[in-house]
Amino acid sequence: MNDYLQTNARYWSGTYNAPNVESFIFRFYGRILKFDYGIDGSGHERLLDFGCGQGAALAFFDNLGFDCFGVDIAANDIAVARSRMPHIASHFAVIDPKPNPEQIFFGGNFDIVISIQTLDFLSNTDFDLAIKCLYNNMKVGSKIYASMNGWAHYYRNQATYVGDGLWHVQFKTDRLDYDLYLNFVRDKEEMAKKFSLFRPVYLDYYDYSFREEGSELRYTFFGVKE
């Protein structure tokens, strides 16, 4: 359990091929950033993706004019992001799996932070460190959009609770071979509590299922640093 971060890092040390911007990212952009706040990238807003992987979301925002930065523990995926966006290759960094609230990424002062399907790889204690780190990297008035696994996510049915919010997800199917530690959030109230450093604006969710494997429910939080 103590070295759960290492187990998760081992899993991510391969490559996670995710080349395209996800619908919940471009809809977040169109419906919230642009519609509600008039933020469309023309102001070159500073945007950080915590757990950016190969930079699919960042490539979308980069194209719109945002000043994009990404951090991740997976060196292979950061290398893919850099070669995909050579004009901002220096805007990507490989970070340590253990969150550090004092760590400032690329000068901080971000206008927007996104973190999709990443913070749920942390225990409650480490989540609190990571969220403080993100808070410290943000301007007053800046926005955060992040997702966490929902309670109904089918991985949890295959998992054993090991404490501090973490479930050991260990199962093999014809398609998957998982040995991971994940955090699951019960409901929107718990989601608001986890992100209580920020003023909540929208608590939403997305869900899908393929091959009838089960629900992949994720809650999303959108809020503002005041």
Ligand X SMILES: C[S@@+](CC[C@H](N)C(=O)[O-])C[C@H]1O[C@@H](n2cnc3c(N)ncnc32)[C@H](O)[C@@H]1O
Q: Which residues pair with 115 in a beta bridge?
A: 146
Rounded to whole angstroms, what are the CA distances from 100 to 5, 42, 128, 131, 151? Answer: 13, 32, 10, 9, 27
Q: How many positions of this chain bind ligand X (CB under 6 A)? A: 19
Our finding on whether 117 is near ligand X (CB under 6 A) is yes
67 binds ligand X (CB under 6 A): no
In angstroms, what is the C-alpha Rg of the chain?
17
Smallest distance, Å, CB 72 to ligand X? 5
Site for ligand X in 1-40 (CB under 6 A): 8, 12, 16, 18
Which member of 45, 67, 77, 204 binds ligand X (CB under 6 A)?
A: 77
Subset of 136-195 contacting ligand X (CB under 6 A): none
4-31 b/e (C-beta count within 10 Å ≥ 16 → b): bbebbbebbeeeeebeebbebbeebbee
Q: Does 58 bind ligand X (CB under 6 A)?
A: no
Which whole-number Å values give the CA distances from 84 to 36, 58, 60, 81, 177, in the listed order? 30, 10, 12, 5, 29
**Which residue among 48, 68, 74, 159 contacts ligand X (CB under 6 A)?**
74
**Residue choice 62, 67, 72, 204 for contact with ligand X (CB under 6 A):** 72
User: Which parts of this chain interact with ligand X (CB under 6 A)?
Assistant: 8, 12, 16, 18, 51-53, 56, 72-74, 77, 95, 97, 116-118, 121-122
